[in-house]
Amino acid sequence: MSILVNKETRVVVQGITGKEGSFHARQCLEYGTKVVAGVTPGKGGTRWEEKVPIFDTVADAVKETGADASLIFVPPAFAADAVLESADAGVKVIVCITEGIPARDEARMKAAIRNSGARLIGPNCPGVITPGECKMGIMPGYIHKPGRVGVISRSGTLTYEAVWQLTETGLGESTCVGIGGDPVPGTSHVEALQLFNEDPATEGVVLIGEIGGTSEEEAAAYIQAHMKKPVVAFIAGQTAPPGRRMGHAGAIIAGGKGTAAEKMKALAEAGAVVVKSPTEIGEAMVRALSGKR
């Protein structure tokens, strides 16, 4: 078992003929992901690299290939439209990699898909991977190993850092979800925690947060009330100055709120194992899963 994606997942790539879309679609295919369709308006009826059929619309791709998940590499100005098109076509898991989407567009698209039954991952994220089964994103596949730990993160390369440690310690990962670094994420820490809590294959969860917003505090409340599995947490930005956007659109301490210290305190009080250094994530999870603190 796993969450969100598995070996049955049939992926349509929106923006497959673009530079990034093309590169990563190839990487996903090589990993073993079932990339069944691509969408580029105006190029319907052709084939991408003589392998994958291209459609003009997501609805056509779903109808013809049974695609049930979409991976979006569309430029920021058009990305919200791409998400809405996927949701409208009945796609259930939408992974939006695009960085730089205006917050207003994100808030509107999130509200608009509320009742569609679609789950949006991202935007501005590395994607989702269930090791050995399905890679839907831009993460390097080989650092992952099928295993016992779920990973939730707002960051890209920092997630790879944590994943690498889990792989090195032999624990491996059930599924890794990059929820993204934007102020209006499609899926929150709490929602991803819920999915892992209910997944029998996941024995523990690594939660990676960063400064800005209150997603980690909400996660802490959920952990305290419902979490049945150990959680190891790291919050990036303990040394970040207030009022400055640290790369990610959502990584900003505003009005004195959203500091790493507040988040670490909330998570620790909720019973999570909070590590101060990202280099301690793997070992902390080994200890947590063996019942030690």
Partner 1 sequence: MKVHEYQAKEILGRYGVAVPRGKVALSAEQAYAAAKEIGGTVVVKAQIHAGGRGKGTFTDGFKGGVKLAQTADEAAEFAKKMLGNVLVTHQTGPSGKEVQKVYVTEASDIAKEYYLGIVLDRARQMNVIMSSTEGGVEIEKVAAETPEKILKTWIDPLVGIQPFHARRIAFGLGFKGEAFKECVKLVTALYRAHEETDATLTEINPLILTKDGHVLALDAKMNFDDNALFRHPDIVEMRDLSEEEPLEIEASKYDLNYIRLDGNIGCMVNGAGLAMATMDVIKLEGGEPANFLDVGGGATTERVKNAFKILLSDKNVKAVLINIFGGIVRCDVIAEGVIAAAKEIGVSLPVVVRLQGTNVDKGKAMLAASGLKFAVADNLKQAAQMAVASVK
What residues act catalytically?
Answer: 248
Q: Which of 127, 147, 150, 156 binds partner 1 (CB under 8 A)?
A: 156
Q: Does 277 participate in binding partner 1 (rule CB under 8 A)?
A: yes
Of 92 and 245, CB closest to partner 1 = 245
Residue 261 in the binding site for partner 1 (CB under 8 A): no
Provide the minimum distance between the beta carbon of 250 and partner 1 in the complex, in angstroms, as a whole number. Answer: 7
Distance CA 5, CA 116 (A): 18
CA dist., res. 153 & res. 176, Å (int): 8
Q: Binding residue for partner 1 (CB under 8 A) from 121, 132, 234, 267?
A: 234
CB of 141 to partner 1, least distance (A): 9
Q: What is d(CA 157, CA 57) in angstroms, rounded to the nearest whole number?
A: 32
Q: Which of 31, 248, 262, 274 binds partner 1 (CB under 8 A)?
A: 248
Give the C-alpha separation, 201 to 20, whole Å: 32
For residue 11, what are the β-bridge partners?
35, 69
In the complex, least distance from residue 169 CB atom to partner 1, rounded to whole angstroms: 13
Q: Does residue 245 bind partner 1 (CB under 8 A)?
A: yes
**Residue 115 near partner 1 by CB under 8 A:** no
Beta-strand pair 273-274/127-130: unpaired
Element counts in the chain: helices (H) and strands (E): 9, 14
Instruction: Give the phi and the psi of residue 205 in degrees, each rounded to 5.
Output: -130, 135
CB atoms within 10 A of CB 243: 10
Residue 21 in the binding site for partner 1 (CB under 8 A): no
Place of tokens 């920092």: 158
Amino acid sitting at position 44: G
202-218 burial code (b ≥16 CB/10 A, e <16): bbbbbbbbbbbbbbbbb
The CA distance from 113 to 94, in Å, is 11
Q: Is position 218 an interface residue for partner 1 (rule: CB under 8 A)?
A: yes
Which listed residue (244, 261, 268, 271) binds partner 1 by CB under 8 A? 244
Per-residue burial over 48-67, b = 16 or more CB atoms within 10 Å of its CB, e = otherwise: beeebbbbeebbbbbeebeb
Nearest in space to 137 (alpha carbons), one of 167, 160, 111, 161? 160
Choose between 251 and 286: whose C-beta lies nearer to partner 1.
251
**Least distance (Å) between residue 200 CB and partner 1:** 29
194, 214, 224, 259: which one binds partner 1 (CB under 8 A): 214
Least distance from C-beta 288 to partner 1, angstroms? Answer: 20
- Which of 134, 240, 285, 288 touches partner 1 by CB under 8 A? 240
Taking alpha carbons only, the member of 204, 108, 96 closest to residue 148 is: 204
Interaction mask 71-110, partner 1, x per CB under 8 A: -----xx----------------------xxxxxx-xx-x
Least Å distance, CB 188 to partner 1, is 9
By CB under 8 A, name the one of 171, 208, 231, 270 that touches partner 1.
Answer: 208
Q: Which residues bind partner 1 (CB under 8 A)?
A: 23, 27, 76-77, 100-105, 107-108, 110-112, 138-140, 142-143, 153-161, 164, 181, 183-184, 208, 210-215, 218, 234, 236-241, 244-251, 254-256, 260, 276-279
